[in-house]
Amino acid sequence: MLGDPRSHGLWEKTAPAAPATAALTGDHTADVVVVGGGYTGLSTALHLAQAGAGVILLEAAEIGFGGAGRNVGLVNAGMWVMPDTLVGTLGQDRGEALLDLLGGAPRQVFELIDKHGIACDAVRNGTLHCAVGQSGLKELRARSAQWLRRGAPVELLDASQTAGKTGTAAYTASLLDRRAGTIQPLAYARGLARAALAAGAVIHTGSPVLSLGRAGPGWRVATAQGSVTGEQVVVATDVYSAAPWSALRAEQVRLPYFNFATAPLADPLLRTILPERQGAWDTKSVLSSFRLDQAGRLVFGSVGALRGTGLAVHRAWAKRALRRLFPQIGDLRFEAEWFGMIGMTADNLPRFHRLDRNVLTICGYNGRGIAPGTVFGRCLAELVLGRMRDEDCPLPCTAPKDARFGVIREGLIEWGAQLAHLVP
């Protein structure tokens, strides 16, 4: 996007075209102004429009420009943190409510895909969290037990079963989560945009917000060429936030994540590598992920940024790592390479903020943007419409708080990932 082949890589090459939109010009009014064209903003706009609200969405660049168009495409249930840890952080009632909401979130994603006919290569065969060594096995045993106590359809697979599902003998076990699946992430974002437009929402791209000011009982949201005045504002810019909502950026530590996509694999390889098309990732601290797209390309990723010295380091590492995992793969050729940023909060849980009167946001998905972004968009719509009270939201309403030593930590993550990937 915007002339950068490493921003969205394979997803931009293979997604259906975005719906026609244009930059905001002139002065307009709406019931609600939504800022940000990713999963949260598009889901909010869709659910508001379906309820009859007049909504205008402003996107600084293009639909799905941020994390929505760059991620791996795993539609996961829950968060990165263990279920019991989540409950320990939020308390019993709110924590279990959040686990229930996020446990069912993949189902809501797939229901939206079906309802609106979104062409995004949806595969609903679950995901595999793969254990590296005995420490990884211990982690997955605990995670499995905690989900099973809550009735989740998860299954701990042994090393042999895992090898059959993945095509590699590198893992001691894996946790199969049947609630989950994979999609083409940019195609899903563009499909949500089409659905929102069909429901009556208005979307303007190429329209970065420059200022927010009071206008009677509501707000005037201004861009370079126009403005929208509305009673309520939903901010859905997450870790890609800038002024006037730079506080949302400052409370998160940006973790870069890259992906490489191979040429389509031959049929004999596809019968052994992820034959059931689950998406997978491992338990390493500098984790790796892998999945297949609809054409049989193997998409392989890890922590790091494809810029400066990182481009060569991570590209060479990806080839070495893939050959170790899948010796049967032979010669490797990458068709696409791209990276983006994951926003990490202090406790690895999302945030619900009221930034001012009638200005609200939910952000901080910690690498789990697809399903949480979709269901939290619905929650934001319910809050705006008065159908949900703040105390009914499974996230506490808090004020943004800057991440400690955020910029330093970001530099350490980026350079640390390069050092980790220099190891043969």
Q: Is the pLDDT of residue 3 over 90?
A: no
pLDDT tens-digit series, residues 197-251: 999 999 999 999 999 999 999 999 999 999 999 999 999 999 999 999 999 999 9
| pLDDT (0 to 100) of residue 160 | 98
Domains and CATH numbers, the chain: 5-71+186-252+346-404 (3.50.50.60), 127-178 (no CATH)
pLDDT tens-digit series, residues 133-152: 999 999 999 999 999 999 99
Q: What are the distances in angstroms from CA 312 to CA 158, 318, 341, 415, 422?
A: 35, 10, 19, 13, 10
Q: Is residue 294 very low, low, confident or very high in pLDDT (cuts 50, 70, 90)? A: very high
| pLDDT (0 to 100) of residue 2 | 79
Burial class (CB in 10 A: 0-12, 13-18, 19+), 207: buried
Start-to-end CA distance of the chain, whole Å, equals 33
Q: Is residue 112 very low, low, confident or very high in pLDDT (cuts 50, 70, 90)? A: very high
The pTM of the full predicted model, rounded to 2 decimals, is 0.97
Q: Which amino acid is at 30?
A: A
SS3 content of the chain, % helix, strand, coil (to 5): 40, 25, 35
Q: Is residue 96 very low, low, confident or very high in pLDDT (cuts 50, 70, 90)? A: very high
| pLDDT (0 to 100) of residue 330 | 87
| pLDDT (0 to 100) of residue 244 | 95
The torsion of the CA quartet 50, 8, 61, 368, rounded to 10 degrees, works out to: 50
Question: The tokens 């979104």 sit on which residue?
Answer: 118
Strands 351-356 and 334-344: unpaired
Question: The tokens 């095509």 sit on which residue?
Answer: 167
Nearest to 329 by CA among 265, 259, 261, 264: 265
Q: Is the pLDDT of residue 1 over 90?
A: no
Q: Is residue 132 very low, low, confident or very high in pLDDT (cuts 50, 70, 90)? A: very high
Q: Is the pLDDT of residue 16 over 90?
A: yes
pLDDT tens-digit series, residues 40-53: 999 999 999 999 99
Torsion sign (Cα): 389, 390, 391, 394: positive
Q: Is residue 318 very low, low, confident or very high in pLDDT (cuts 50, 70, 90)? A: very high
* Strand, coil or helix: 231: strand
pLDDT tens-digit series, residues 115-127: 999 999 999 999 9
DSSP 271: T
Q: Is residue 188 very low, low, confident or very high in pLDDT (cuts 50, 70, 90)? A: very high
Q: What is the mean pLDDT of the chain?
A: 97
| pLDDT (0 to 100) of residue 423 | 82
pLDDT tens-digit series, residues 329-374: 988 899 999 999 999 999 999 999 999 999 999 999 999 999 999 9
Q: Residue 423: which residues within 8 A CB-CB, separation 6 or more? A: none
For the CA atoms of the chain, what is the radius of gyration?
21
